[in-house]
Homo-oligomer: A and B are copies of this chain.
Amino acid sequence: MIAVLKPGVSGEQSAKLIEWFEEQGVKVHVSNGEFQTVLGLIGDTSRIDAELVESLDIIESVKRISEPYKKANRKFHPEDTIVEAGGVKFGGGNFAIIAGPCSVETPEQITYVAQRVKESGAAMLRGGAFKPRTSPYDFQGLHEKGIELLLEAKRQTGLPIVTEIMNAEHLPLFEEVDLIQVGARNMQNFELLKALGKTNKPILLKRGLANTLKEFLMSAEYIMAGGNENVILCERGIRSFDPATRNVLDLASVPLLHEMTHLPIVVDPSHATGIARLVEPMSLAAVAGGADGLIIEVHNDPQHAWSDGAQSLTPDQFDVVSKKVRKIQAALA
């Protein structure tokens, strides 16, 4: 951490501040410039509140020079992490597509979609059983029954399953789930993250609507700090000012996260745009940009879907996307 003193700070004042820093266990290197003095703090500065220091009368500015995430940090773990969920690998050169409906609705629906996306090359089946909905009056998912239907589809097709958790109390229902999703709205539900950190389940962590990449990694760090290092990150769009799309897909986050962390990164073009017609071009863009996987909404009958039909592909449309994705991969291999 570097602290820059304001011009004209007296020697006495700066000595007092240095003493205070040292009390907190860090060494201080003083650099007296022509106009300003700069303090370099060395050691474990994680206990020092940068904003507090910045608020002191004699301080001009403060800058942290080390990232607050450790376990997720590529610096301390240069090799790609490969996360395996239900036998499917993500990261370190492994790429996979997760596909399925927004909500699990009926046995026929989920099994049919599972069959179709498997034939088109999907490696995992997604489907919501617990649905975070903005309105308390909207369909909230089939809950326990929804997970049963997913497991039934898994038995029939062999596809491992991904589904979202909203409450740590529901964990016993997720025992046979292969990959547990944490939704964007819960990215900073720290109590939920801590609970998941105590499991050994692979976690698919979605980026919050207005969270920085640093905050995203800090949330991964919550899970990893508890002992569970099986975290897959998911870019799914951020909130912005243009109503033309539901969110803005921040694809540059993919290569940037690859620099910052060793964890795999998948992209969700369906939620990012909210528009089925944009799923194909954004899937191809994500793959060309370096994503380790895709998670795509597919519904047998989007017009009659119980939620988010507007952004779902039909199985036929998904088949086209999947084929083009393979072409992009082959071209860049």
CB closest chain-B residue, reference A50? B310
For A224-259 the 0/1 string (1 means CB < 8 A from B) is 010000000000001111111100111111111001
Q: Does A128 contact B (CB under 8 A)?
A: no
What are the residues of chain B within 8 A of A298 when measuring CB–CB?
none
What are the residues of chain B within 8 A of A218 when measuring CB–CB?
134-136
Stretch at the interface among A91-99, A104-112, A145-153, A268-276: A268-276
CB closest chain-B residue, reference A289? B285
Judge whether B2 and A38 touch: CB under 8 Å.
yes
Stretch at the interface among A57-65, A77-85, A117-125: A57-65
Q: Within the oligomer, what is the number of copies of this chain?
A: 4
Bound-state Cα–Cα, A138 to B51, Å: 13
Bound-state Cα–Cα, A70 to B46, Å: 35
Interface size class of A (residues with CB under 8 A): 35 or more
What are the residues of chain B within 8 A of A189 when measuring CB–CB?
166, 185-186, 189
Judge whether A281 and B303 touch: CB under 8 Å.
no
What are the residues of chain B within 8 A of A29 when measuring CB–CB?
31-33, 38
Q: Does A100 contact B (CB under 8 A)?
A: no
Please judge, given known A-B contacts A49-B309, A281-B254, A288-B328, whether A241 and B244 are in contact too, CB under 8 Å. no
What are the residues of chain B within 8 A of A194 when measuring CB–CB?
136
Bound-state Cα–Cα, A137 to B132, Å: 28
Q: Does A180 contact B (CB under 8 A)?
A: no
Stretch at the interface among A154-162, A171-179, A198-206, A209-217: A209-217
A-B contact pairs, 27 of them (CB 8 A): A29-B32, A33-B40, A34-B43, A38-B40, A46-B137, A51-B274, A52-B308, A134-B215, A136-B221, A186-B188, A209-B210, A212-B243, A244-B253, A245-B252, A245-B256, A249-B251, A255-B277, A259-B277, A281-B289, A281-B290, A284-B288, A284-B332, A285-B286, A285-B288, A288-B289, A327-B332, A328-B331
Residue ranges of A at the interface with B (Cβ–Cβ < 8 Å): 2, 4, 27, 29-36, 38, 40, 42-43, 46, 49, 51-52, 54-56, 60-61, 63, 65, 68-70, 132-138, 166-169, 185-186, 188-191, 194, 209-210, 212-215, 218, 221-222, 225, 238-245, 248-256, 259, 272-278, 281-282, 284-290, 302-303, 305, 307-311, 324, 327-328, 330-332
6 extra A-B contacts, CB within 8 A, seeds A214-B244, A252-B278, A255-B278: A134-B215, A167-B168, A209-B210, A249-B251, A251-B285, A328-B328
